[in-house]
Amino acid sequence: MNKPLRRIALFCGILVLALLIRDNWLQYVRADELNTHKLNRRVQIERYAYERGNIIVDGKPITGSVETKGSDFKYKRTYTNGPMWAPVTGFASQAFDANQIEKLEDGILTGNDDRLFFDSTMAMFTGEKKKGGDVVTTLDGKAQEAAFKGLGDKKGAVAAIDPQTGRILALASTPSYDPSVFAGNSLEDSENRQKLLTDKDKPMVNRALRETYPPGSTFKVVTAAAALENGVVEDIDAPTDTPEPYIIPLSRTPMKNSHGNCEKASLNAAMEVSCNSVFANLGDKVSRDKMVETAQKFGFNNAEIDTPVRASASVYNKTMDRGGNALSSIGQFDTAATPLQMAMVTAAIANDGKLMKPYMIDQLRAPDLDVIQTFEPEEMSRPVSQENAQLLQQMMENVVDQGTGTKAQIKGVTVGGKTGTAQHGVGNSKRPYAWFISYAKTDNGSPVAVAVVVEDSSGIARDDISGGGLAAPIARDVMKAVLDGKE
Amino acid sequence: MSVVTNTTTIGAIDAPSRRNTELVLLAFAVAIPVFAYLNVGLALDGEVPSGMLGYGLGLGLMASVAHIVVRKFARYADPLLLPLATLLNGLGLVLIWRLDQSPRLNARADFAPQATNQLMYSALGIALFVGVLMILKDHRVLQRFTYISMAAALVLLLLPLVPGLGADVFGAKIWIRVGGFSIQPGEFAKIVIAVFFSGYLMVKRDALALASRRFMGLYLPRGRDLGPILTIWAMSLLILVFENDLGTSLLFFGMFVVMLYVATERTSWIVMGLLMSAGGAVVVAQFASHVQSRVAAWLDPFGCLETAPEGSNMINACDQMTQVLMSFGAGGTLGTGLGQGNSDLISFAANSDFIFATVGEELGLTGVMAFLLLYGLIIERGIRTALAARDPFGKLFAVGLSGAFALQVFVVAGGVMGLIPLTGMTMPFLAAGGSSVIANWALIGILIRISDTARRPAPAPAPSPDAEMTQVVRP
């Protein structure tokens, strides 16, 4: 009976060998795939097993972590002044994943990034608790506060940039939400989130980066830039050939001006009182393709503006007809811009024509404060020449000095700006958006450019809605906060 | 290591008993689980677990008793079997204790800590081991009980079907409840039925091997000799259908085929066995929904999780399979370390049927391979015992037990690792469950008894006065 016995022994050996091979396949070959599987709860457990690193503004954290009981997740995210900072931080929730910086820099914040490998390995040996690294932002706490307070209970957004570097200084959006109300994974958290998702005011939308609005008259500075760059206007004080009434090309519709004295008005004068006819006429003369070219140099039609949170693409239609182009040149029709985009336009002009890439993360730091990565200012494009930029500045400063933007004046500081009141809705049925873009200038160039949009100015008589009245004071406060901080 | 026996007529040289080897190995087999216990305590609470001394002493005491009994009653037994079983049992206790500490499992209504019970059952198992060695002086005695064993095995296997006695636990009717205890009679039936197979096959082997017709290269047995294999086959299917127990069914049939092959030395039995199990499997799979869900969970666990209907048996099977696979994945090459994994995410049966996933996650590929090799060693020592045994009954008995052990390990580990469809069976010595650990200690006891008989040197020939005379040199 020994021969079959030996064969049985061999057979049993093969069984064990099969198990060994299968195990290698499972635990060596497929381990990564299984470990990162979306159904694998360990990923979530691991993410919240340690204190998450913080998002830092002005050297102080605006986030925190608290220990929680009763679930798989040990730590829960907390937010200081959550609603004010939500457009910057995004949220990190035990149950509902994360977004924006919390999501994009998750590796650093959880401490699982490869660049933190050395730190976590050292922590393993020294017995220290593992902790995530920090994300240091470029934001200015004072400016953010001014923007958020200025918007108050109005619906709208503010984006402020340092024109010389592209550093984002403020990014506010109202109505906002507090990410800490659904940072956990309890039933209450889930209800809170549901309430936010179904809120008709959409508090979770990041209006500063992700919402596009018709920019209205604030877009006229782009049209003016295109006119100057393409030689359509050489002297900003020379009269243009704009008739009154100006008939929109390819149509019989006359273009309305809310203000008189627009017939043959010079570019400077037209900017001061915001003549629609003059800019529509100029846009038409520049031609659609040249308008598109200039708008794109400012950042329009670019779907990849990453701050690193990606901003929605602002639009200047590339295929419309002459009439559409004329209307688009005054920021209506198909033209749509995010507040960040309009802040970029302002910043490029304030920075003598050089557009810096906007960014809001300054540094990534390891838990022991070692800097892992520093982000440097980067030039994005040059939409206008230096001389033309200075001409544009002259006109914008004129707007604040004696035009529609006087409410943005700051004593002893040169301020340039442009108002906008954008119509929207079918047949202009809805309340218009109030826009204001501006920059402040000191002897060392411009430290701040702001774009403000007030979306639905509830409680204000319709005729009183204007960029100059509603949005300009907010812009002024933000600029003042930045200037005060510089002193 | 072969048995050293002197085959000359002059006399037997005492073969080394290897008892001291066993003692040294046993020391390791106790020390390793104690360190593992310490490891779990440090990982979970950051301090030396309070029960460590008691646990170490308990395991040490059980091992010592077993060793002393082997020394006394089975002097020539295989020196590896006892340490291997002790090591697996000890590590099993550590793993069960580790899962007892899981807050996630403790939050479940159907979970109760098992470590203390398991320790008690292990002690009972060792007691049975000692009993086997002390009472069963010669395994050949069991031949007398061939047909009684058959009856006993049938009763044990069918007990769970008795109304009022059998307990339907999570779909499988393999438990019976006596007093406050639940017992899996199938685990014991495994040993009893091996007695019947050995006794029966030893007698019938010639008839089965020789009285056959040749057909297409296969030896087909006569109709009347085909009876027993058909009976066993039918019984396996009955167990499968009525008790929802894929594992036991496969185990018995597989064990029978192995023993039949060894007894008759005819490969055709293997072919027939494979054909019959394939046929049975196909037929049963047509109408047994739990078999279907397990096959679905085996083929594509992640996929079937999405396609299976909500709240169905299938979705549970698939979910469990994905959790087990992710547990193994999480372990990777070196594992997360004892106490530091999340294998308790498997939730249901994490400490019994799926305990191997905890090994996979916390000890990693390395640990799983080590465990598989430990099991492999037990199996091969068992077959080696069969090879060394001098009597056909002992040979068949040893190979039956080892084969059953091997099949059980393969079916459980293969099922948990997704190599074959999952069956609800316990990993010998490792999983929580009294019947399993007690029955497996008895199994090791019997193997030790057979190996002792096999390795015992032939008694020295009686001194022959004639021989002595010839040595006398007369002056």
For the segment A301-310, what is each residue's pLDDT rounded down to a tens digit? 888 888 888 8
Residue A433 pLDDT > 70, yes or no?
A: yes
Q: Would you please indicate which residues of A are annotated as catalytic (active-site) residues? A: 217
Residue A230 lies in a domain: yes
Nearest-neighbour CA in chain B from A75: distance (Å): 16
The predicted structure's pLDDT at residue B6: 46
**Closest residue of chain B to A10, computed from CA coordinates:** B380
Residue A52 lies in a domain: no
pLDDT confidence bin for A41, thresholds 50/70/90 = confident
Q: Encode pLDDT of A318-373 as tens digits.
A: 888 888 888 888 888 888 889 999 999 999 998 888 899 999 998 888 888 888 88
* Below-50 pLDDT ranges, chain B: 1, 6-12
Nearest-neighbour CA in chain A from B250: distance (Å): 15
pLDDT confidence bin for A316, thresholds 50/70/90 = confident
Residue A101 pLDDT > 70, yes or no?
A: yes
Nearest-neighbour CA in chain B from A463: distance (Å): 56
Answer whether B406 sits within 8 Å of A12, measured CB to CB: yes
Paired tokens of B128: 């049975």
Residue A202 lies in a domain: no
Answer whether B417 sits within 8 Å of A12, measured CB to CB: no
* Mean per-residue pLDDT over chain B, rounded: 85
- Chain B positions touching A32 (Cβ under 8 A) are 329
Residue A195 lies in a domain: no
Which phi and psi angles does B105 have, rounded to 5°?
Answer: -75, -40
The predicted structure's pLDDT at residue B77: 93
Nearest-neighbour CA in chain A from B104: distance (Å): 8
Answer whether A26 sits within 8 Å of B328, measured CB to CB: yes
User: What are the counts of helices (DSSP H) followed by strands (DSSP E) for chain A?
Assistant: 18, 20
CATH of the domain at A265: 3.40.710.10
Q: Encode pLDDT of A228-237 as tens digits.
A: 888 888 788 8
Which phi and psi angles does A248 have, rounded to 5°?
Answer: -60, 130
Residue A383 lies in a domain: yes
Task: Classify strands A445-456 and A361-365 as parallel, antiparallel or unpaired.
Answer: unpaired
Q: Encode pLDDT of A200-217 as tens digits.
A: 888 888 888 888 888 888
A121-127 average pLDDT score: 73
The predicted structure's pLDDT at residue B159: 84
A312 vs A403, residue with greater confidence: A312
Q: Which of A1, A15, A45 sits opposite B395 (nearest CB)?
A: A1
The predicted structure's pLDDT at residue A306: 85
Residue A242 lies in a domain: yes
Cis previous bond, B160, omega within 30: no
A419 vs A119, residue with greater confidence: A419
pTM, whole model, 2 decimals? 0.73
So what's the ipTM on this one? 0.91
Task: Please tell me the distance from the alpha carbon of residue B301 to that of residue B462, in angstroms, as a whole number.
Answer: 68
The predicted structure's pLDDT at residue B14: 60
Number of domains in chain A: 1
Domain range for residue A338?
208-360+379-484
Answer whether B333 sits within 8 Å of A27, measured CB to CB: yes
Looking from the CA of A129 toward its CB, the CA atoms found within 13 Å total 9
The predicted structure's pLDDT at residue B466: 65
A435-454 average pLDDT score: 87
Paired tokens of A183: 């940072």
What percent of chain A lies above the pLDDT cut of 90?
Answer: 11
The predicted structure's pLDDT at residue B172: 65
Paired tokens of B411: 């079916």
| CB B90 within 8 Å of CB B60 | no
Size of interface A-B (CB pairs under 8 A): 130
DSSP-derived secondary structure for A442-478: ETTEEEEEEEEEEEE-TTS-GGG--IIIIIHHHHHHH
Residue A461 pLDDT > 60, yes or no?
A: no
Which amino acid does the sequence have at A61?
Answer: P
Residue A392 pLDDT > 70, yes or no?
A: yes
Residue A192 lies in a domain: no
Residue A262 lies in a domain: yes
Answer whether B325 sits within 8 Å of A34, measured CB to CB: yes
Residue A262 pLDDT > 90, yes or no?
A: no
DSSP-derived secondary structure for A284-339: HHH-HHHHHHHHHHHTTT-TTEESSSEEPPPB--SS--HHHHHHHTTT-TT-BB-H
- Chain A positions touching B403 (Cβ under 8 A) are 8, 12
DSSP-derived secondary structure for A143-194: HHHHHHHHHTTSEEEEEEE-TTT-BEEEEEEES---GGGGSS-SHHHHHHHH
Answer whether B331 sits within 8 Å of A27, measured CB to CB: yes
